[in-house]
Structure 1
Amino acid sequence: MLTALPVYNEQAHLERVLDQVVSQADDVLVVDDGSTDDTAKLLAQRDDIRVITHYPNRGYGAALRTAFCYAKTHDYDVLVTIDCDGQHEPQRIRELAARCAGDIDIVSGSRYLSASESGGLAAPEDRKAINQTITGEINQRLGLSLTDAFCGFKAYRVAALSPLQLREDGYAMPLELWVQAAHHGLKIEEAAVPLIYLDEKRSFGGELDDAERRLRHYRDVIDRALARVNVRHPAADVDPCAGLVASGVAVPTAG
């Protein structure tokens, strides 16, 4: 089992979260997506993780795709992804991984299942509303029954990632993932995780900080993903990472 964390300028949370993750996981990969704060310096001080660095920043989706590629090329059976912003509970890593067994391809954390417990502050109203709107549209268009389309805490059966052709670099990549997963008939279930929001401002980048523009962008990503779902990149038939990470943009370093 591999646990991967996409990070960008997370110096405030990095050491605390990593200490917790390494105590709960087998192997740990950090994808530093071109951080400009002290994240890289803090990562270089550790010998209990593996680090891949993007130069320059490419986006949350690109970092996840690099983690997918790493898990595939290093023959892991299960990949767990967890954010490094202090809003997930690392002690649930093995629970999610264990549920991603048998015929389950993706176990996705949900902060809105009835069994979920709230921790920290309530979700910002615009983020909650957009999540609910997009989750409903995803379900309607793809025939899924998700309650949380955006949670970054997931477990994947690595073999099930092979047919996926992912192209989105930004925060909306998980929406493309759902389109691909539905198209390829992957089996999905959700696991309740606590709803934890911290008292700090998070940016989606530029104009996406505006809720209405962000909602339009998410819908555009879904439309693009549906439009190209039947267009297969020919390299994918021979390259296990085709469409997951472009050559030359990730630099691995020993942890």
Structure 2
Amino acid sequence: MKPVRKAIIPAAGLGTRFLPATKALAKEMLPIVDKPTIQFIIEEALASGIEDIVIVDGKSKRSIEDHFDSNPELENNLKEKGKDELLKLVEETTDINLYFIRQSHPRGLGDAVLTAKSFIGNEPFVVMLGDDLMTDEKPLTKQLIERYEQTGDSTLAVMNVPHDQVSEYGVIDPESEVTPGLHKVSSFVEKPKPEDAPSDLAIIGRYLLTPEIFEELEKTKPGKGNEVQLTDAIDTLNQRQHVYAHEFTGKRYDIGSKIGFLTTNIEFGLQHPQTGAALKTYLKDLAKKLD
């Protein structure tokens, strides 16, 4: 069994839900307090043992590449002023095996993954979506890798969501629970209507896939939204080899919507050593005024 060493981070979306901010700035560079959202994803990958990361980007995403590139002028300025802690933060973003591939047209998540086929080769890999931040004692990506080491098969992260929200997700039809929290899946359904949903277990933005998925993606025709849906290819792959679903029990932050982005900033701001105390005081005072 080959080890899981590589990750794909799709980042070619237009970010229309955050216009006008994303007209010239990559959505993935919007900050949670003082750190771009995509940096949280990369840190999760590294903490899980991933060695090589490819970001599938698109037009107007240059800011992502610049963020993870060296900036000698800035680094020298920080050195001269003795700002060692800030210098360390800046240098940490450059010491990463990071690669970039351009998705020329936004044809969906499945197409973005297929774009990275040559980078992955014949190895298992993870796909990490930037709209979901996950926190747990053990990184979710690491949890998926450990499941793969047990089964040797593709494994997706799922989580219970409110029934009236299932149409926003890919949803699994669980066949049986192999071990606590690990489900053998009968089928995968992309964004079903609530009345048609086979369960409330939704796919939440972390996938561990075997390289056979590329054969299925190459055969998958565009589905909803005229896009190549990764869920459709996974459902077909499940007919050839088992695909499992790992139930995540940690904390998920949905930063793909404005309200999710704002509440995540508040929660992370309360945990941040430089902002936590002042923000807590502000929120208490604000609550009194709103009452």
TM-score by length of 2: 0.51
Whether the aligned pair in 2 keeps the contact of 1:20 and 1:91 (CA below 8 Å) is yes
Whether the aligned pair in 1 keeps the contact of 2:11 and 2:56 (CA below 8 Å) is yes
Deviation at 1:130, TM superposition (A): 0.5
**In structure 1, which of residues 98, 120, 125 is the aligned counterpart of residue 146 of structure 2?**
98
Long gaps (5+) in structure 2: 13-25, 31-36, 71-93, 176-184, 189-197, 259-291
- In the alignment, structure 1 residue 201 sits paired with structure 2 residue 250: no
Long gaps (5+) in structure 1: 113-122, 203-255
Deviation at 1:136, TM superposition (A): 6.7
Secondary structure, counterpart of 2:29 in structure 1:
coil
Whether the aligned pair in 1 keeps the contact of 2:10 and 2:55 (CA below 8 Å) is yes
**In structure 1, which of residues 111, 133, 139 is the aligned counterpart of residue 159 of structure 2?**
111
Q: Percent identity?
A: 12
Deviation at 1:107, TM superposition (A): 0.6
Q: How many residues align?
A: 183
Secondary structure, counterpart of 1:53 in structure 2:
strand
**In structure 1, which of residues 189, 193, 200 is the aligned counterpart of residue 244 of structure 2?**
189
Q: What RMSD over aligned residues (CA atoms) do the two structures have, in Å?
A: 3.6
Deviation at 1:137, TM superposition (A): 8.0
Deviation at 1:16, TM superposition (A): 3.2
What residue is the counterpart of 1:20 in the other structure? 44
Task: Decide whether aligned partners of structure 1 residues 55 and 79 sit closer, same or farther in structure 2, where only a CA change above 3 A counts.
Answer: closer
Deviation at 1:177, TM superposition (A): 1.5
- In the alignment, structure 1 residue 30 sits paired with structure 2 residue 54: yes
**In structure 1, which of residues 116, 121, 135 is the aligned counterpart of residue 171 of structure 2?**
135
Deviation at 1:201, TM superposition (A): 2.3
Secondary structure, counterpart of 1:152 in structure 2:
strand
Q: Take 1:168 and 1:39, find their aligned partners in 2: how far apart are those partners?
A: 28
**2:29 is matched by which residue type in structure 1?**
Q
Whether the aligned pair in 1 keeps the contact of 2:221 and 2:228 (CA below 8 Å) is no
Whether the aligned pair in 2 keeps the contact of 1:107 and 1:190 (CA below 8 Å) is yes
TM-score by length of 1: 0.57
Task: Decide whether aligned partners of structure 1 residues 11 and 86 sit closer, same or farther in structure 2, where only a CA change above 3 A counts.
Answer: same
What residue is the counterpart of 2:29 in the other structure? 11
**In structure 1, which of residues 138, 144, 149 is the aligned counterpart of residue 187 of structure 2?**
144
What residue is the counterpart of 2:76 in the other structure? none
Q: Take 2:40 and 2:186, find their aligned partners in 1: how far apart are those partners?
A: 39
What residue is the counterpart of 2:206 in the other structure? 153
More strand by proportion, 1 or 2?
2
Q: Take 1:155 and 1:172, find their aligned partners in 2: how far apart are those partners?
A: 18
Larger relative contact order, structure 1 or 2 (CA cutoff 8 Å, min sep 6):
1
- In the alignment, structure 1 residue 82 sits paired with structure 2 residue 107: no
